[in-house]
Amino acid sequence: MIMPFKCIFQQLKEMRDGSKNKSRRRADRKCVHGRGRSHIAPESSPSPSALVQESRWANLPPELLLNIIQRLEASQNSWPARRDVVACAAVCRSWRETTKEVVRAPEQCGLLTFPISLKQPGPRDSPIQCFIKRERGTSVYRLYLGLSPALSGDASKLLLAAKKIRRATKTYFLISLAADDFSQASNKYIGKLRSNFLGTKFIIYDCQSPCDHEIQSNGRSHLYSKQQLFTKVPACNFNVATVSYELNVLRTRGPRRMLCTMHSIPISVIQEGGTTLNLSTFRNYLDEPCFPLSVSKGRNLVKFGAGSPAEPLESVHGRRDPLILKNKAPRWHEQLQCWCLNFKGRVTVASVKNFQLVAAVEPCQNVPAAEQEKVILQFGKIGKDIFTMDYCYPLSAFQAFAICLSSFDTKPACE
């Protein structure tokens, strides 16, 4: 299956170069014969995309094309081989539409294929396993898909990257799709994390409006152009989550305690008989602008002790209680004389940064016991500047990565 795709790209390149040379020769002839004219109208030539649409690849029978992409989707279930699935969506319009129907969202297939998958919820059954590499010299953090650098090697797939920027009273983590482009004016920018002065509260901002995150049962993966996914210059950032750490100035309360309030995820997604979260529908800011999320203060769903930095939230979009995550309490190991958590072999180095997040619920919220015990996100150290990150439904890779970045910031009042 790989050779035909290489032939496609070679044919596309030849047609594009041929059309450019042909139009250039025609323009030169018009300049010679039309010397003395005040204006020369350029001769229109078909675009490369139009040539592809008229080529034999665009005219394959729909049944045959569907069978080809289905076979490819079933066989290429890891990177870098999964590039062939992405290549199918770039051939022409008919191939792209067929690929959209075949490729499923991460919640159903457990695979990350297109950039939109980074903002879709992870699978329900087994987590997506990733690792984070920290570069101390440049303050850059890179998220890769895979078990670890030793096992993945050069085949590691870069998912996201973040750059830490310190200010006088706060710290920023700018998150991008590219490893070296962190400008908020770039179409690679997808969000940021901002901390307060003490490092006790972090706000996760998304360049997409939370109004665009709809509750659906459709499990198909959607493809969008860069203009549809991200504005050319993000007008503003939208508050989609808040991460709060409990004050522990005297260091008498044990390990870190944290709460994550997911403003864009309702508690109903984990309730028995609740709705299914699908973040695959995004509107264009230029066509349908939305305004930043405003949350009014109401009753406390979960709260720390006195002096807690956590803020009460009444609803998501003013209608539903938000999902709140808390770190799973570790147990004290008498023989080792340390706090321990069961990371199932994914964490091998003791660190104050290690944590596991589970749902923080009340008895009246009708959440099954299995969902209450389920680890939604876990993060831990396995080597010098190497950390693992495993996440599952209802968090997306972007949300999980932003939460883990909050653990890297200095917290003098929390540890």
Pick the closest to residue 260 from 355, 185, 357 (CA basis): 357
DSSP helix/strand/coil, 289: coil
Structure tokens at 370: 């299995």
What is the distance between the alpha carbons of residues 180 and 182, in angstroms, rounded to a whole number? 6
3-state secondary structure of 10: helix
pLDDT for the residue 164: 95
- The 10s digit of each residue's pLDDT in 194-234 is 999 888 899 999 987 765 544 333 444 444 444 444 444 44
pLDDT for the residue numbered 316: 43
Q: Which pLDDT belongs to residue 14?
A: 61
Q: Which residue positions in the chain have pLDDT lower than 50?
A: 1-2, 20, 30-44, 51, 213-235, 279-319
Per-residue confidence (pLDDT) for residue 195, from 0 to 100: 92
Query: What is the predicted pLDDT for the residue at 81?
Result: 83
Residue 18: the pLDDT is: 56
The per-residue pLDDT for 303 is 39
For residue range 91-134, list pLDDT tens digits in order. Answer: 888 899 999 999 999 998 889 999 999 999 999 989 999 999 99
pTM: 0.74
The secondary structure of the chain in percent helix, strand, coil, rounded to multiples of 5, reads: 25, 25, 50
Q: Residue 148: its pLDDT value, please?
A: 75
Q: How far is CA 299 from the centre of its chain?
A: 31
